[in-house]
Amino acid sequence: ATSRLLVNYQEPYRSQILDYLFKPNFGASLHILKVEIGGDGQSTDGTEPSHMHYENDENYFRGYEWWLMKEAKKRNPKIKLIGLPWTFPAWIGKGENWPYDYPDVTAYYVVSWILGAKQYHDLDIDYIGIWNERAFSSKYIKLLRYTLDKHGLQQVRIVASDRLWEPISFVLLLDSELHGVVDVIGAHYPGTKTVPNALLTKKKLWSSEDYSTFNDEVGAGCWARILNQNYVNGNMTSTIAWNLVASYYEELPFGRCGLMTAQEPWSGHYKVEAPIWITAHTTQFTQPGWSYLRVDGQLEGGGSFVALTDGLGNLTIIIETMTHNHSQCIRPLLPHFSVTPQKATFYLKGSFRLLHTWQSFKRSCSAFTMRCNVWKGSFSLYLNVDEVYTLTTLKTGQKCGCPEPPPPQPFPSNYKDDFNIRNPPFSEAPNFADQTGVFEYFINSSDPGDHVFTLRQVVVQRPITWASDADQTISLIGNFQWVNMTVTCDVYIEKQRDGGVFIAGRVDNGGIYVRRTKGVFFWVFADGTYRVTGDLAGEEILMKGLSGVRDNAWHTLTLNIQGTSASGLLNGYPLWENVTVSKPSNGWAAIGTRSFEFAQFDNFHVEA
């Protein structure tokens, strides 16, 4: 859920960000886009909607991944697309928190996503994964291959198992049928190393999730080092960064762990971070289909180099001399090593002539500057520490730039959304970041007029989870630094008897930590009671009483938090006041429901 805020950028800024990511010979010029197959569950920084919330439901226009894949393909028709589920809707497991009890159902669900990508968006998915960082089932993988083939999707390749090198490598060596259907072994955060069994399978080896590091100069150093050393040390021919672009509220888990930062759609501000230009050192001078040459790759003074060719006379050499302290990734732990300034001599056989040298260095990993040299036969380079060089026969590299984006601005302190939009470009309202459950635009055709267009929570059973989703649903919005605020929202409980909804302020947590969220929560329930709690779980009760609220009727809730005191209004009249609140001292605004239940929200307004 890391591209959540990107979709809300206005033009021309949104297209500029997409150009930096995907446009060939412009910025990162990415070769691969790997997307989540939304499953209605928390996947690190939020939930992404499923194309099938319920068994009899199909909709290939939810969320923002379809849009993102199309924007990538529009800029680079050759980009490779990968889909991988983190979570699954509840009906897949028929009540169990497990996707493999009915493998035919899971295979049908995943293949329907691939078919929908083609039918509704003309997108060809190149690779499909199994279940992110969770167990795999050999029976399921074989059934997935069978289902793909049955639907004419022989060209879709299978990546397994997006976790560790083992046990998948060992199982592939034992099970020849499974060996025949898995095309790529994908491991996460391998620390540039592989294992003997993985090499014995003779499969393509990928670091299918890596990086995940704050995108400053050290993050850029981490990325430079692993882009080379994943091949040099681990024979991996693909390295995929989580995440593409930091387009989520920065205080959510792993803030700013993207190749660039675009987390302010309200201002238009974004930042092209150093990892974009480190990426360009590889991606602008190679393409999918190029081959790594089997060279030693270790430099005597520390650092590494790789050499790739297209087999048609082109050659690219990428050199990095990153020091330990300038290239630590978030994980795994990096053992100490030393790098010293050195003279490196390269010997070119045959007719290779390297024409261009691109260079980035420690003081600015985003330098990415070019000079013309002609290297042939043998040549020597003086390499300082914390530098990246690309030597290439290609003349196509560019360091492109757009006009400076607008300056940063905090989230608007007075923000309204009435959700009155007949044909929304996306299924979710701008800036709302769902953390459990899914909140979608809804047309309330039975309403006489005031509430035809609303926002509706639509997940009614706990999904097959990947993280610790809350037992309540919640969507965040605003500025984490907010202290004093008034939140107002019209609410409509659909679930009889034990249904309930809330509005909240000073909400302090989300993402994989959503279960431990604290704040000031104002709840009303279908049984005519209300509560004020200091947490999402509803365990820390600050006030409770009767409200007269009922289900299937609209009510207006207002929550006012000033300093250490909070008060609440129902339909404009005071319901409770002078409740003492101490922690947390600041946080987002939020809306949500008591359980996985249908409920609607309208005329949201926050003044902070």
- Catalytic (active-site) positions: 133, 209
Rounded CA-CA distance 181/303 in Å is: 37
E-only strand ranges, 178-251: 184-188, 204-211, 236-242
In Å, how far from its chain's centre is CA 370?
Answer: 32
Tokens matching residue 206: 């990928």
Q: Is 496 helix (H, G, I), strand (E, B) or coil?
A: coil
Rounded CA-CA distance 148/145 in Å is: 5
Element (H, E) at 279: helix 274-283
Single-letter amino acid, residue 332: P
In this structure, are residues 243 and 223 in contact, taking their beta carbons and an 8 Å threshold? no
Q: Tell me the H-state helices in 299-371.
A: none
Cis previous bond, 275, omega within 30 = no
Rounded CA-CA distance 160/177 in Å is: 14
Element (H, E) at 116: helix 103-121
Tokens matching residue 156: 């879709």
Torsion region of 386: left, alpha or beta (phi above 0 gives left; psi -120 to 50 gives alpha): left
Residue owning tokens 């960064």: 241
Cα torsion angle, 362, 365, 366, 369, sign: positive
Tokens matching residue 108: 């049908």
Q: Is 375 helix (H, G, I), strand (E, B) or coil?
A: strand
User: Per-residue DSSP letters for 548-562?
Assistant: ---TTSEEEEEEEEE
Rounded to a whole number of angstroms, the distance between the first and last alpha carbons of the chain is 26
For strands 453-457 and 573-580, give the pairing.
unpaired
